[in-house]
Amino acid sequence: MLRAAAAGGVPYVDITRWTSRLHRAAALTVPLRPESPVLLSSAWMGGVSSLVAAALAADLGGAERVEIAVCWDTADRAGADSVEFMDRLGTRFEVVEDGTRRLVAPLTGAETVEIGGTPVRVARIDTPEQFTLPLTLGTTTAVTRLGFSSPATTRALFALRRAGFFTWGSGERWTPLRRAVLYAPGEGGTARMRVDVSHGGKTRTATVTDARGQHHMTAAGAVLGLRRVLGTDGRPAPGGAVFPEQHPAPGQALEALADLGVEVALDDREQPRPGGVAA
């Protein structure tokens, strides 16, 4: 599809790919040299995490450190596709910390972070913004962690990791069981995310909340992506491949998110960097 879009001059937005697939898409785009926009916007929730990070970085004049903490509401209407990340919990992935790239295991580096007034135990997960933010914003540390509204679910996943389930149970045979842990076509919940950006000794924090859940927040990110590649958001459309955090006016993008029903609460006070006891 990417090849066909590039050849036909059709704007292209990709919103739900894991980092390894984003790597391939970016590598494919280089020799294609498309003149039409190619927005690789698969950061968390359709690029919302990266847009928020870019807006905070613009306010601070840079982004040496970006830390993203996601609270997954276990009551949310999560479909089978949205829990695909469960299939990758046995695969190590690359991160950048203090300017050095290294491999880490999923569900490690656990910390307790306050998200929307609630302490949530979060741990590392492989997401594309950890790859793109060091390239686009010059971030020397980019960390995304995920936790759950249910402490019991968090403890269960940590126990499965310690038991090695995500390694020996990584094959297709175990896919239904892996996804059943979080697959919840229920009544719906609230999607929450905290983004901390540090630069020059200062930190700014944003809490992103969508009362209609993660599917709606992803849809909002997709809408902003479509507006970006079509140039209907008040700024000229880009040429060639870009990432969501390269938005020419990220603060304006946050206002557009609010118009779509995604609340972004900015804390203007200087904040301590989130942290806790690593596990």
Instruction: Express each pLDDT in 134-143 by its tens digit.
Output: 999 999 999 9
Q: Taking 60 as the threshold, does the pLDDT of residue 270 lie above it?
A: no
Judged by DSSP in three states, 63 sits in coil
The H or E element that residue 25 is part of is: helix 19-32
CB atoms within 10 A of CB 223: 17
pLDDT digits (tens, 9 = 90+) for 183-221: 666 677 899 999 999 999 999 999 999 999 988 999 999
The pTM is what? 0.89
- The answer to whether 226 touches 105, Cβ cutoff 8 Å, is no
pLDDT at 102: 94
> Is the confidence at residue 275, as pLDDT, over 60?
no
Burial class, 35, CB count within 10 angstroms (exposed 0-12 / middle 13-18 / buried 19+)? exposed
DSSP conformational letter for 234: S
